[in-house]
Amino acid sequence: MTVPRLIGSITPAAPVATASELLVLLPSLGTTTAVWDGVVAELSRALPHVRILRVDLPGHGASPSTREPFGIADLAEATLRIVDELGGGRFHVAGISLGGTIALELAATHPERLLSLALFCSGSRIGDADGWAERGAEVRRSGTASLVTGSAARWYAPGYLENNPNGQGARGLGTLVEVDDESYALCTDALGGFDRTSSLGGIEVDALLVSGEYDQVTTTASMRAVAEAMPRARFAELAGASHLAPLEKPAEAASLLIGLVHAAGDPSSAAPYDTGMAVRRAVLGDAHVDAALGAITPETAAFQDFITRYAWGEIWARTQLSRRERSIATLAALVTGGHEAEIRMHVRAALRNGLSRNDIGEVILHTALYAGLPSANAALAIMRAVFAESDDPESGDDSSHAGD
């Protein structure tokens, strides 16, 4: 086995004084760092104190092809070498599918180097050795172009390509054809030999595991089981996504990553206001927050500063509850209090924090037992209106109640 040479790209391209943490993003087999483009656009706005390093797999994107066998442990070592070239130290790491196995290997073998770990559509073992051997043989025989049809079905949720004919999905399939055939096959060999299932109970790193609702490769059930086996992991499912969930749902994936980075990062790396603003944007969305900030008057400026620092920078940034759990508690409290404007806002926030539409309806149903039917009925009407607006791209974001 050899350690292949990998190439990474950094965002921002030049060091900045406030960029005191590093987040490493690793792609899936058959894709390049471009799979993270939508997520990075969100992260760059919300995490000004974090530099983002994206690394290509062997023979993918900017990384050179190889003809020497390697394992997942070798890819983890190659990733560490790039980080050390940038100054070393501890870092956050997130990976999709194969990239997730590299991240998990880092957590198992170099836990002292990690601030946090995120696995998207990945696991402690993906598939089986025979299946990967068959995939590798096919590529060696017919090239990666032979995988396009099967990859389209695995990678994307039903209707995604049809609804985004000129978007990232189609470009991703085009990129697959450009991947070096032997390097791809060697990646399948590495996946066939990877199994960290027995190590999960000893991984003490703050972790996030995210599945796609329609993913048949790394299913919701399999990823939830991995999360339950890890002492400090939490689980989320991205509705309407499949195996490339961060590409299909970049805003939602970024929101989850932002929460993890803030919860697990160095508290001194960002001022309380900056932390609060990043969390606030992650939970409520840029449109809502921009409307709130644009409406500031001399009389309301102190209040806006207060909620940013304390509601978002202190309470919502705490690690004792996940963002998803905080959304559940918030919705229940708002329904009980009859705070209808805030219910609308936090239904949207709950969707961003990983609750499905059914989850939100269930929270309101449960709250009806204790808050009363009229309050729950009013909340359900608001919920339906928000869902209808979400289904209508022309409706925009009603930010008329932008105080929070």
CATH of the domain at 292: 1.20.1290.10
142 & 75 share domain: yes
**Boundary residue ending a domain (240, 267, 294):** 267
pLDDT reported for residue 308:
85
198 & 305 share domain: no
Phi, psi of 22 (to 5 degrees): -125, 135
* Cis ω before 165 (30° cut-off from 0): no
How many structural domains is the chain composed of?
Answer: 2
Question: What residues does 12 pair with on adjacent strands?
Answer: none
What whole-number distance in Å separates Cα of residue 262 and Cα of residue 297?
29
Residue 403 lies in a domain: no
- For strands 50-55 and 8-11, give the pairing: antiparallel
215 & 339 share domain: no
Residue 2 lies in a domain: no
> What's the domain range around 129?
8-267
Residue 262 lies in a domain: yes
241 & 314 share domain: no
Task: Find out whether 47 and 261 touch, Cβ atoms under 8 Å.
Answer: yes
SS3 61: coil
171 & 88 share domain: yes
Phi/psi-derived region of residue 212, left when phi > 0, alpha when psi is between -120 and 50, beta in every other case = beta
pLDDT reported for residue 268:
47
Residue 122 lies in a domain: yes
CATH of the domain at 85: 3.40.50.1820
* Spatial CB neighbours of 198, under 8 Å, sequence gap ≥ 6: none
208 & 344 share domain: no
Residue 1 lies in a domain: no
229 & 317 share domain: no
Encoded tokens for 142:
């017919």
Residue 398 lies in a domain: no
pLDDT reported for residue 399:
44
Residue 396 lies in a domain: no
**Boundary residue ending a domain (208, 239, 267):** 267
Residue 124 lies in a domain: yes
What whole-number distance in Å separates Cα of residue 289 and Cα of residue 23?
25
Q: What is the pLDDT along the chain (404 residues), one digit of tens a residue?
A: 789 999 999 987 555 444 578 999 999 999 999 999 999 998 888 787 789 999 999 999 999 999 999 999 999 999 999 999 988 899 999 999 999 999 999 999 999 999 999 999 999 999 999 999 999 999 999 999 999 999 999 999 999 998 887 788 888 898 999 999 999 999 999 999 999 999 999 999 999 999 999 999 999 999 999 999 999 999 999 999 999 999 999 999 998 898 888 777 655 445 567 778 888 988 998 888 878 877 777 677 778 878 888 899 889 988 778 889 999 999 999 999 999 889 999 999 999 888 999 999 999 999 999 989 999 999 999 999 999 988 876 555 444 444 56
135 & 37 share domain: yes
CA distances from 325 to 57, 115, 287 (A): 35, 22, 23
pLDDT reported for residue 33:
96
34 & 56 share domain: yes
132 & 258 share domain: yes
pLDDT reported for residue 236:
92
